[in-house]
Structure 1
Amino acid sequence: MLTLIGGGRDRTGGRGQTAAAAIHALLREEILSLRRKPGEPIAEKDIAAAHGVSRTPVREALLRLADEGLVDIIAKSGTHVSRIPLADLPEAITIRRVLEQLAVRGAVASATGSQIIELRAILVRTAEAAEAGDTEAFHRADEAFHEAVATAGRHPGVWALVRHVKLQVDRFRRLTLPLEGRMARVVAEHEAVLAAIEARDAEAAAAAMGAHVDGLSLGLDDLKRFNPGYFLEDSARSDLKRA
């Protein structure tokens, strides 16, 4: 649930962060984590009341989310969490693959011994989360692994780009985690990436990372069948307008 914010400032930790920025961050996380489901309505007045603010910062936050493609603001129909645009996923996955292969090649060339130890520790956390069936802990560890690869490769900016590109992919990916064997497979794929970094084999590392990222597309047909209301078949959204 949203954390209460008062006095127009964020009390959740960001110094000088405005209420609009804090509400945006919280709503964004709820959408990406699927706590707010695709297609679910969003009531500005309820959010404003929960935060003790006017509707103005809520509106600002929702407009930012609309720019990111995470909410739809439809004239005379209200605001809803956007459905996952199927047509956009292949391109986003391809862009992510290229960026992450660049990062992992850098890690092969530049990773220090301590950074490799850190990657191994993250991989252990990921495996523990998978064994426990804890999808939230798994997601956090997975993100940490990819960020650590980019940092070890001296390409921290690549991870920032990946995070921007993969917004819609993240929602799809969250749906895949409960699928039988999915988390265990990701752990094995991370192990292959790390083994190649340890061996200082750039080609093997890039191939392992590419196979890992491309694996995000697996399970799409099953998810479409079980959760048809979560997906937008056509990426064209000309009928969606800001109210």
Structure 2
Amino acid sequence: MDMPTTPTPDASNDRPAAQRSAVKPARGPARGASTMGAIHRSLRAEIVEMRRNPGEPIVEKHIAEAFGVSRTPVREAVLRLADEGLIEIFPQVGTFVARIPVNALPEAIVIRTSLEGTAVRYAAQRATGSQIAGLRANLLLQQETVEDGDLNAFHEADERFHALIAEIAGYPGLWSMAQQVKVQVDRYRRLTLPEPGRLTNVLAEHAAIVDAIADADPALAADRMAVHLDGLLTSIPQAQGANLFFFTGP
């Protein structure tokens, strides 16, 4: 494994974790496994949402101070994140947020497309009027976040949109499986959201999917889902070129 390039110094990295808004200490006197779980969820969200950039140091002491705990649960959370490929540990060097493995992205996107293609086919066959109304309400929420320029809120509404399709299909587990394989894709995708016109295009693709579901056309719904997710494949080179240090691989 290549040694990480020393990240460019940043003022936010010099501050203790207790002073960083990204770290959200657990409330109350949680201890043991619950404390480790809270730390894991907090760090994982920060990494996946790109609030901790690839290559950024992970300082266990600062995190422990922020949560008011010993370093033991912090270490356990870090090891778990390392198993998930989100953190890299270099003995005698340090612990860092892992860079995004560009070679793993295409396969993850293909798997997600297969899972969601199945879900949207069933959704088009089974959707009720009220369920279609629920999808359209979600589209309105997405539109509001686009108008507000709120990337985090848009991402949350986007995730809910895809979860709704799996629920309407009657197979919510398909979305759960997709979530497991798309962790690195989510990190990369965060880099694409600020691109001019990106949110508007995604919203239009979502609307086209809903129209196909409303028309009870499984084949068209699956085709539109594939087109929607294929955009993630075609955008990889551009995102990598604009953020070279954030990625590993050619």
Q: TM-score, normalised by structure 1?
A: 0.90
Alignment correspondent of 1:183:
199
CA deviations over 1:146-203 (Å, ceiling 9, x no partner)? 0000000001101110111100000010100000111111001101110000000000
CA deviations over 1:97-117 (Å, ceiling 9, x no partner)? 000001101101112211111
- The answer to which of 158-167 and 215-224 deviates more is 215-224
Q: Secondary structure at the match of 1:41?
A: coil
Alignment correspondent of 2:156:
140
Matches within 5 A, 1:120-131: 120-131=136-147
Q: Percent identity?
A: 51
CA deviations over 1:55-79 (Å, ceiling 9, x no partner)? 1100110111111111111111111
Q: Secondary structure at the match of 1:73?
A: strand
Gaps of 5+ in 1: 11-15, 235-243
Alignment correspondent of 1:3:
24
Please say if residues 8 and 53 of structure 1, whose CA atoms lie closer than 8 Å, have aligned partners that are also in contact: no
Letter in 2 for 1:157: G
Please say if residues 65 and 71 of structure 1, whose CA atoms lie closer than 8 Å, have aligned partners that are also in contact: yes
Alignment correspondent of 1:107:
123
Alignment correspondent of 2:35:
19
Alignment correspondent of 1:173:
189
Q: Against the structure 1 CA distance between its residues 112 and 224, is the aligned structure 2 distance closer, same or farther, given a 3 Å change threshold?
A: same
Letter in 1 for 2:213: I
Q: Indicate yes or no: 2:103 matched with 1:87.
A: yes
Q: Indicate yes or no: 2:82 matched with 1:66.
A: yes
Q: Secondary structure at the match of 1:42?
A: coil
Aligned-pair CA distance for 1:7: 6.8
- Give me the whole-angstrom Cα distance separating, in 1, the residues matched to 2:105 and 2:239: 14
Q: Secondary structure at the match of 2:95?
A: strand
Aligned-pair CA distance for 1:17: 6.2
Q: Indicate yes or no: 2:228 matched with 1:212.
A: yes
Q: Against the structure 1 CA distance between its residues 8 and 63, is the aligned structure 2 distance closer, same or farther, given a 3 Å change threshold?
A: farther
- The answer to which of 141-150 and 109-118 deviates more is 109-118
Q: Against the structure 1 CA distance between its residues 64 and 148, is the aligned structure 2 distance closer, same or farther, given a 3 Å change threshold?
A: same
Alignment correspondent of 1:240:
none
- Give me the whole-angstrom Cα distance separating, in 2, the residues matched to 1:110 and 1:76: 56
Alignment correspondent of 1:196:
212
Q: Indicate yes or no: 2:179 matched with 1:163.
A: yes
Q: Secondary structure at the match of 1:37?
A: coil
Alignment correspondent of 1:118:
134
Q: Indicate yes or no: 2:243 matched with 1:227.
A: yes
- Give me the whole-angstrom Cα distance separating, in 2, the residues matched to 1:47 and 1:146: 33
CA deviations over 1:206-241 (Å, ceiling 9, x no partner)? 00001111111233222222211100116xxxxxxx
Alignment correspondent of 1:47:
63
Q: Secondary structure at the match of 1:179?
A: coil
Aligned-pair CA distance for 1:137: 1.0
Please say if residues 6 and 52 of structure 1, whose CA atoms lie closer than 8 Å, have aligned partners that are also in contact: no
Alignment correspondent of 1:237:
none
Letter in 2 for 1:5: A
Q: Secondary structure at the match of 2:85?
A: coil
- Give me the whole-angstrom Cα distance separating, in 2, the residues matched to 1:5 and 1:133: 29
Gaps of 5+ in 2: 1-21
Runs (4+) of structure 1 exceeding 6 A deviation are none
CA RMSD, 1 decimal: 1.5
Letter in 1 for 2:23: L
Aligned-pair CA distance for 1:5: 3.1
Q: Secondary structure at the match of 1:72?
A: strand
